[in-house]
Amino acid sequence: MINRNRLVSQFKTMVEFDSETYHEREIADYLTQELKNLGFEVTEDDAGNCLKEQNAEYGSQIPAGNLYGCLKGNTAGEPVLFSAHMDTVRPGVAKRAVEGKDGVITSEGDTVLGADDLSGIAAILEAVRVIKEKDIPHPDIEVLFPVAEENYGKGSQLADYSRIQARQAYVFDLSGEIGNAALAAPTLLSFQINVIGKKSHAGFCPQLGVNAIEIAAAAISRIKQGWTDKETTVNIGKISGGVQGNIVSDECTLIGEIRSLRDSRAMEEWDKLKKVFEEAAVCSRGSVKLLYEKQIEAYEIKEEEEVVIRFKKVCDAMGIKAVTHKTLGGSDNNHFVHNGIRGIVVACGMNEVHTTSEYTTIDQLEKSALLALGLMTAGEPDHFV
């Protein structure tokens, strides 16, 4: 059913767009036309303009918003939403797809490939093409291609959910073999802690100073980082402070994150961290300013929900094993679930993502497109022959 040559060609074409986060204008224009050519009614929301007001990375370029499209169905059934994000991580400028004789597709080695998440977009578009060519019955098909997913799903957070009719979604944005699906994802808190001390000369009068770095070190020594339980992690990923070696540091800044599959546990860890830093500052005559932002909120989809049953049915019809699990990685689906759409995140042919070793394979792209086809058409077995 899947046209492998066409699928690979479109994937390669999309790879060549420079679509790093906040630079999705060109690929958004391309996808708008592709969707219209397939019969979708397409709209672009105002997310890009909203994000540009908050972020200087846009510069003078015209921002892109989230793309929403609806293809009217020709048979009974509830509408289903399919999603994959348009942006890629850095380094993502001047990407080129290199196809090996073994069917493995990589970049030239100095950029990411962008299979995260162009493999997902390619699969969705190819599935719709097959439906149109073969005149396969389908309910309404909705698509949402967000911007700025790689920055905690900032684009989908601003999407107009009143426009979306589907109550089930398949987000093509997961690594691993086709047939893998994530049913739960975490709350993610990003935080910044500013420790404030007092400057003094480190040689002549260190006793007059309050060393902010020392306060931070004392606090860090009391914090359990890494896994704090089987579903929660804490990490301080960046520390900076001080002026030079002969001055007692009067400031130290720490940046980190907390992830947990339970929202309450993430908040518990933040409260612990906050208390430890406040106590350390008081003990050393310093002070602290603590800021956090809840980037995404945890969710869990149950095995018995229709969106999962449908997925397993399609995998069975394809002859592949459905493997469901939880992930500590966030996605646009966190925002979908928060807005009443029961979605799961499915593997779509991306490997070693966020590295210059990223790759996909022609076989994975084909299976991913076939999965999308089955999910769009209720997984009837004759659609796979």
Instruction: Please compute the mean of the pLDDT values over residues 269-288 and round it to a whole number.
Output: 98
Strand partners, 105: 99, 360
- The residue ranges of DSSP E strands in the chain, in sequence order, are 41-44, 67-71, 80-83, 98-99, 104-106, 141-145, 168-174, 180-185, 187-196, 226-229, 232-241, 251-260, 287-296, 299-300, 323-326, 342-347, 359-361
Architecture of domain 187-296 in this structure: 2-Layer Sandwich (3.30)
Sequence ranges of the domains in the chain: 4-185+298-384, 187-296
pLDDT for 55 equals: 87
Phi-psi region of 236 (alpha: psi -120 to 50; beta: other; left: phi over 0): beta
Q: Poorest-confidence range of 62-76, 300-314, 368-382? A: 368-382
Residues 308-344: tens digit of each pLDDT: 999 999 999 999 999 999 999 999 999 999 999 999 9
**E strand or H helix at 10, and its extent?**
helix 4-15
Active site positions, annotated: 87, 149
Is the bond leading into 186 cis (omega within 30 degrees of zero)?
no
The CATH number of 4-185+298-384 is 3.40.630.10
pLDDT given at position 383:
61
Confidence of residue 381 (pLDDT cuts 50, 70, 90): low
Arithmetic mean of pLDDT over the chain: 96
Q: Mind listing the pLDDT tens digit for each residue in 135-144?
A: 999 999 999 9
pLDDT score of 325: 98
Q: Give me the pLDDT at residue 57, please.
A: 84
